[in-house]
Amino acid sequence: MATNPCPTDWRESLDRTIDEHFQTLVEIRRHLHAHPELSGEERDTTLHLYQQLDDRGFTQRMGPEGCGIIADSQPDSSEFIALRADIDALRIHDAKQVEYRSRNDGIMHACGHDAHTATVFGAITAVKRLSDQGQLPWAVQLRGIFQPAEETCGGAKQMIEAGALDDVTSVVAIHVDPTRQVGRIGLREGVLTANCDEMHIRITGRGGHAARPHEANDPIAAAAQLVNALYLYIPRVTDSQNAAVVTIGQLVGGDTANVIPEEVTLRGTIRALDRVVRRDTMEHICRIASGIGSTTDTKIDVHFGLGCNSVVNDSGLVGVLRHAGREVLGSDGLEEIERPSMGSEDFAFYGAKVPTAMFRLGCSSDRYGGSSLHTPTFDIDEEALRIGAKILARAAIYLADPDRKRRIEANQASGTW
């Protein structure tokens, strides 16, 4: 590959390429938003992306059961920089009145995965175009990981098992952030998100007539007491300096208004920043459930299912992202994330294997904003796609620099990194 003697030329070419193809990113994002698919069912999404990437010369492998893509810019490379996106949607009704509103009733991209996908697509295709044209300062072998099932915490593990991290030296990702304005990003070294575990609770009682509750062991009454006790007492047994959040997201029981059911099931999550707090919270939940089971004469079984650890950002990768973000947005566009989020991300599974980093991409504006993640009216200002693609592409190129360590040290000494 020809080496460009002017180190600014490739950045100008990169930005121009992303600007010229920005409408394509918007179209991809809107197509995915209009055709969302639930975790483990992202076959049409995968096929759409596969066709788009095939047209641009990527070497591709599909994930398990036709969901997800591993896309390489250069086949048979021995060392890849990976950019990761997630492609699944949520079981939420899209309440927006826009042309790209979800056409799959009750399913919606309410967490920005459509934007993540379009942004990573923009970054890897722009870098490949410059590479094919000989406009990069050094060789860049790039891998796009478009993973399914992030919301159910299984997709990252599936993609790793399918070889997504083979020959990968580092992985970088984004998450849109509606609390930040377009033109701003959030950065944090170290712990970024909480540990998270699914919780399944089954309460078995004795059914009966609604008019004669004394003849039954009411599992709905036990469930009501249990939810109240968890919300009341978990904070009281957790050090106030530590964070632990228990949330019940689903409660199912009964079929008829005048019948006390035999069984009630609850599903929820436990989130904690500290692993000891995580373990202690599980133990407290089991003790509370046991006590309520005894007082209500019901059987309460608690099971902890799929979970993931905290996302921990590698400091070196964050430094590269900070430098790339400063080039795109200026110093005023960079914001430090003061404390970890209680949200969770299965991106953590990649971090258990190779250095990883994720940054928050501002996506709100006067026109778009005001709706949080996981809400029926969530939307983004699509200008965020352009910004995110430019930052990710720059970061990938810098990470591929064969002289990166020396260059970083020199830039740090001069105050430019």
Q: Is the pLDDT of residue 181 over 90?
A: yes
The proportion of the chain whose per-residue pLDDT surpasses 90, expressed as a percent, equals 89
Question: Cα separation of 395 and 185, whole Å?
Answer: 14
Confidence at residue 201, expressed as pLDDT on a 0 to 100 scale: 98
DSSP code per residue over 85-123: EE--BBS------STT--SSTT-B--SSHHHHHHHHHHH
Question: Cα separation of 257 and 209, whole Å?
Answer: 10
Pairing of strands 185-187, 334-336: parallel
Decide if 112 contacts 175 (C-beta within 8 A).
yes
- What six digits make up the tokens of 125? 């295709």
Query: pLDDT-based confidence at 241, cuts 50/70/90?
Result: confident
Query: pLDDT-based confidence at 318, cuts 50/70/90?
Result: very high
Question: Cα separation of 115 and 184, whole Å?
Answer: 16
Query: pLDDT-based confidence at 4, cuts 50/70/90?
Result: very low
Decide if 173 contacts 347 (C-beta within 8 A).
yes
Query: pLDDT-based confidence at 404, cuts 50/70/90?
Result: confident
Question: pLDDT for 242-254, tens place per residue?
Answer: 889 999 999 999 9
Q: What is the mean pLDDT of residues 115-137?
A: 97
Q: What is the mean pLDDT of residues 88-114?
A: 97
Question: pLDDT for 321-366, tens place per residue?
Answer: 999 999 999 999 999 999 999 999 999 999 999 999 999 999 999 9
Q: Is the pLDDT of residue 240 over 90?
A: no
Q: How far is CA 9 from CA 1, 6, 116, 295, in A?
A: 15, 6, 27, 73
Question: pLDDT for 26-50, tens place per residue?
Answer: 999 999 999 999 999 999 999 999 9
Q: Is the pLDDT of residue 2 over 70?
A: no
Query: pLDDT-based confidence at 6, cuts 50/70/90?
Result: very low
- What six digits make up the tokens of 390? 């430019």
What domains appear along the chain, each with residue ranges and CATH number? 9-193+310-414 (3.40.630.10), 195-307 (3.30.70.360)
Question: Cα separation of 51 and 48, whole Å?
Answer: 5
SS3 content of the chain, % helix, strand, coil (to 5): 40, 25, 35
Query: pLDDT-based confidence at 98, cuts 50/70/90?
Result: very high
Decide if 281 contacts 127 (C-beta within 8 A).
no
Q: What is the mean pLDDT of residues 176-182?
A: 97
Between 375 and 2, the more confident residue is 375
Confidence at residue 358, expressed as pLDDT on a 0 to 100 scale: 98
Question: pLDDT for 150-171, tens place per residue?
Answer: 999 999 999 999 999 999 999 9
Confidence at residue 8, expressed as pLDDT on a 0 to 100 scale: 53
Q: Is the pLDDT of residue 192 over 50?
A: yes
Confidence at residue 1, expressed as pLDDT on a 0 to 100 scale: 38
Q: In the block, which residue shows the tokens 């469930």?
A: 223
Query: pLDDT-based confidence at 411, cuts 50/70/90?
Result: low
Pairing of strands 244-253, 312-313: unpaired
Task: Tell me what the pLDDT averaged over the chain comes to.
Answer: 94
Query: CB atoms < 10 A from the CB of 345, how many?
Result: 24
